Amino acid sequence: STQSTWENTKKMNNASVATSLSQRKVATRYGVSQAESVNKGASINDMSTTQSSKVMDTPVYHENMHWDLWAVLVLNILQGLIPPLLYFVVEPDKHIGSKVGYLRLYSCLDLAVNAPTYMITLYGTHLLVFPRFSSRHKQYNGRMLEFLSLFLATVFMYGHAVHAVGDAVGSYAEHSQYVSGLPTDLYALIHFMDEYLGHFLMFTAYYPLLAVWVLGTKLRGTSLQAGVAVLLGVMNGLFHSLACIEGGSPAVGFAGGLCVYLVCVYKSVALGGRRGRVQRPGEHQVVAILAVTSTTVLFCGMSYYRLVIGSFEEPSAIGGFKSVLSRLLQFPVSKM
């Protein structure tokens, strides 16, 4: 009888340790304090036992290196590398690669490569930030944020589709030397669809979408992930600063970036005022770091462009990107 009682006690203690460890992982991964986890119905047995206390003091949030945050970073690295590389390699020479059917090479790659890249990045990040299969989705009242994230991602894709079609038609007219034969208002409409409406929809959606992700996610990452997020934010900010100007949407870029700043300040204040929330060494709001870095570089890039060029005139209208980049890079040297 004594042996049986001892074995039952041992099993109960082991179950208590396993439950405590499991809930600790959930709490630290999604930014929920242990007190909040208990208040939301989590049952933890024998919290005062010595063995459970040792488990609770273990920094388990580094164990799996947050594969979902790494996935978010990898997806956004693809978005930060592929479209800029295609653009700066192929786009400056309007005749490179001749045509693929009726499409210029860049227009073909824009539809075949850039569009799937944007789609996988935006909707993949959405699924990682708002995982429906996770208990966090039920605990956190983020239904409206989830809907807003899907809506903004769809608006971005819609804007890219408008831009891709306008660019393909306009490029075909220029490549085939049909511009002089087109009615002035028709060519102006093609240019508006390509450079203004398409880019306006894309950047009206992109930075508010970053803000929604910052507000919606409770994932925290390591210092290494934070460093990768900074580098990624710099790449995104530089490319988007030129893309906003080329699309005639610098005001939209500034407004969207301001939205990101306000959301980050709000979330910082909200987290700071949460009771029972302990920020552990090495924890970082990686998505917020990515958003703030990208926005800061966007602001600096557009402001520097305005300082050097003297206006927000489109690069394609003042000699092309190669000429503009040369002026931007030579400006600090000329002032020395």
Average pLDDT across the chain, whole number: 75
Angle, in degrees to the nearest 10, between helices 199-216 and 250-272 = 0
pLDDT digits (tens, 9 = 90+) for 37-88: 444 444 444 444 444 443 333 333 333 446 777 888 888 888 888 888 887 7
> Helices then strands (H, E): number in the chain?
14, 2
CB-based contacts of 12: which residues, under 8 Å, 6+ apart? 45, 46
pLDDT digits (tens, 9 = 90+) for 204-254: 999 999 999 988 887 777 888 888 899 999 988 988 898 888 888 899 899
DSSP states along 99-118: EETTEEHHHHHIIIIIHHHH
